Structure 1
Amino acid sequence: MNNEYKYLVALNPSIRNSKEEDIFKLSKRSILQEKIKKIEIEKNFNNPKIPQKILEQILQNAYSRIGISNLNDFKKYLTNNNVDFNDVKNKLEIEALWNELILIKFSSKIKINEKELRDRIKNNNKFLKSYLLSEISFEISNLKELDNKFQEISKVISHKGFDFAALKYSVSPTSNFGGKLNWINENSLNKSIKAAINNLKINDFTKPINVPGGFLILQINDIKNTKIEIDIEKEFKKLENFERNNQLNQYSKIYFNKVKKDLEISEL
């Protein structure tokens, strides 16, 4: 628990001033999620391992989210925060193996509307708006609970920050990073998400957006406009990958809940 506590704080510096007991609750949740995924990975893979080049890219994504530019500085940062680099690497590898498992099980179910994606690209041929977003993906058992759940999450965001709320409520793989996503251009967003964030300012967050498998709250961390000459095929590949990953994330949540339901969990 102590190691998980330090790990979560290191990757989400904005929660450092939260109550210790609250962070321990988040740590417990994080450990349970990781254990469940590890059990399922070991059921499906013999000697599971992620190729070194892919692991290096995953590490780069992790430290760039907290504003660190290279691996050596990341290692120093972890040492200064009493976090073992190999533990972090192992945790990221488990998440990557889980994603690989989801890809194997559900890739045949992915549906991409190529015409719709190409039309999105063609409609933006001068300036491209991009968003730096954070997400909270959550589920409810009954639609009547939605307003109360949103009020509960909003209150936590207001008092403790979006990062803390993502760690507490989000079922997305990004939760351990405070829900942080990389820059996403507006071509990659479907109509409902684009409409939800279109008039928001930096640091604003959306009302719950209905998505497959649950609901999504997005916060805008930054916005930029870039003058572009569009390479349609290159942009299409980016958009196609984003859409595929988005659908796989929905299957990941559904499959995780199924696996969790089938396990007997004894908590101290």
Structure 2
Amino acid sequence: MFKIKILIILITIILSNNHTLSIENKIVVKIDNQIITSLDISNEYKYLIALNPSLKNSKKEDLIKLSKRSIIQEKIKKIEIKKNFNNPKIPQNFLEQILQNVYSKIGIDNLDDFKAYLAANEVDFESVKNKLEIESLWNELIFIKFSTKIKIDEKKIRTRINKNNKFLKSYLLSEISFGVPSLNDLDNKFLEITNVINKKGFDFAALKYSVSPTANLGGKLNWISESSLNENIKKEINDLQINGFTKPIVVPGGFLILQVNDIRNEKIEIDIEKELKKIKNYEKNNQLNQYSKMYFNKIKKNVEIDEL
């Protein structure tokens, strides 16, 4: 009799827990034929915190809102990818390079340590791979659609390299890429972003305002040599101290705010051809990112988003 009572209690607890979970894990957004649940947003929250540890001090409700926006953007991209590719897949070796780029930005040296780090933060590694694969397929889609529109002035780049051939100055930057309805709104938008940067940090502001693919990484970019930067950007960051950030810089499709995270100067005899290739890749990616933002904004208008 005692065992039966215990069994009844256990069943009651399990059913109660399942009921609680069903209430908590509810559908919060419908996007065409895709759904987003409260559990999806919770997992996105953990993912964003894991990739941006500095966000841990931010208010949870603020990050939940950003997590919701982030996963809505991901779902929209996924829908568009399925429209354009049959059985889309990223090669394993390329995915491994992307993973390395992600975990190196948060100071982790190898994949095993990254997996352990994710597990400690209750983030599923396969889910992270899936997210990075979606972003990679999106980038491939943008390349297919817009690569013929890329324009690079190789002669101008060579001149810049030769001008700086005695030493190499590089910047470790973060970015916030954004747009405004009209130029009249720019000052107020910049003031709003500046207030968030000063109160909550550049990482949080990038996650909140940036429409660049780097937003989920707090806007972090890799080291960029000074010769890779156009004169307009170089002029804006030249006098900045570490952790300083620029005023909005006009770029195709919107505006850019850059923060200087670190600076290094190296005396080096630059391999002109190698540096040229690096800068051309940077220019190409920069232009593709602009097309990516414009294309995303275009398709978003044709997607039905119902927030429940």
1:80-91 counterparts in 2 under 5 A?
80-91=120-131
- Amino acid corresponding to residue 121 of structure 1 in structure 2: I
Which among 162, 179, 187 is matched to residue 122 of structure 1?
162
Contact kept in structure 1, 2:177 and 2:209, CA below 8 Å: yes
Quote the Cα distance in structure 2 between the aligned partners of 1:249 and 1:28: 22
Quote the Cα distance in structure 1 between the aligned partners of 2:218 and 2:154: 32
Matched residue SS, 1:122 = helix
Describe the superposition over 1:47-68 as per-residue Cα deviations: whole angstroms up to 9, x where unpaired.
0000001000000000011010
Return structure 1 stretches of 4+ with deviation > 3 angstroms: none
Quote the Cα distance in structure 1 between the aligned partners of 2:235 and 2:274: 25
Q: Structure 2, unaligned stretches of length 5 or more? A: 1-40
Quote the Cα distance in structure 1 between the aligned partners of 2:243 and 2:93: 34
Quote the Cα distance in structure 2 between the aligned partners of 1:208 and 1:112: 23
Describe the superposition over 1:100-147 as per-residue Cα deviations: whole angstroms up to 9, x where unpaired.
000000000001111111111010111111000000000001000000
Which among 237, 256, 266 is matched to residue 197 of structure 1?
237
Quote the Cα distance in structure 2 between the aligned partners of 1:231 and 1:129: 14
**174-183 or 119-128, larger mean C-alpha shift:** 119-128
Describe the superposition over 1:175-217 as per-residue Cα deviations: whole angstroms up to 9, x where unpaired.
0000000000001100110000000000000000000010000
Matched residue SS, 1:140 = coil
Describe the superposition over 1:79-99 as per-residue Cα deviations: whole angstroms up to 9, x where unpaired.
000000000000000000000
Q: Residue 248 of structure 2 corresponds to which residue in structure 1?
A: 208
Q: Residue 61 of structure 2 corresponds to which residue in structure 1?
A: 21
Note the C-alpha offset of 1:227: 1.1
Note the C-alpha offset of 1:231: 1.0
Q: Residue 134 of structure 1 corresponds to which residue in structure 2?
A: 174
Quote the Cα distance in structure 2 between the aligned partners of 1:110 and 1:230: 26
Which among 85, 88, 93 is matched to residue 53 of structure 1?
93
Q: Residue 174 of structure 1 corresponds to which residue in structure 2?
A: 214
State the TM-score, normalized to the length of structure 2: 0.87
Matched residue SS, 2:57 = coil
Which among 266, 270, 273 is matched to residue 233 of structure 1?
273
Which among 144, 153, 156 is matched to residue 113 of structure 1?
153
Quote the Cα distance in structure 2 between the aligned partners of 1:221 and 1:69: 20
Which among 158, 180, 184 is matched to residue 198 of structure 2?
158
Q: Residue 218 of structure 1 corresponds to which residue in structure 2?
A: 258
| 1:96 and 2:147 matched | no
Note the C-alpha offset of 1:17: 1.1
- Amino acid corresponding to residue 98 of structure 2 in structure 1: I
State the TM-score, normalized to the length of structure 1: 0.99
- Amino acid corresponding to residue 254 of structure 2 in structure 1: G
Quote the Cα distance in structure 1 between the aligned partners of 2:277 and 2:198: 37
> Which has the greater radius of gyration?
2
Contact kept in structure 1, 2:176 and 2:258, CA below 8 Å: yes
Q: Structure 1, unaligned stretches of length 5 or more? A: none
Q: Residue 258 of structure 1 corresponds to which residue in structure 2?
A: 298
Q: Residue 72 of structure 1 corresponds to which residue in structure 2?
A: 112
Q: Residue 144 of structure 1 corresponds to which residue in structure 2?
A: 184
Quote the Cα distance in structure 2 between the aligned partners of 1:81 and 1:46: 34
Quote the Cα distance in structure 2 between the aligned partners of 1:59 and 1:146: 35
Note the C-alpha offset of 1:8: 0.4
Note the C-alpha offset of 1:228: 1.0
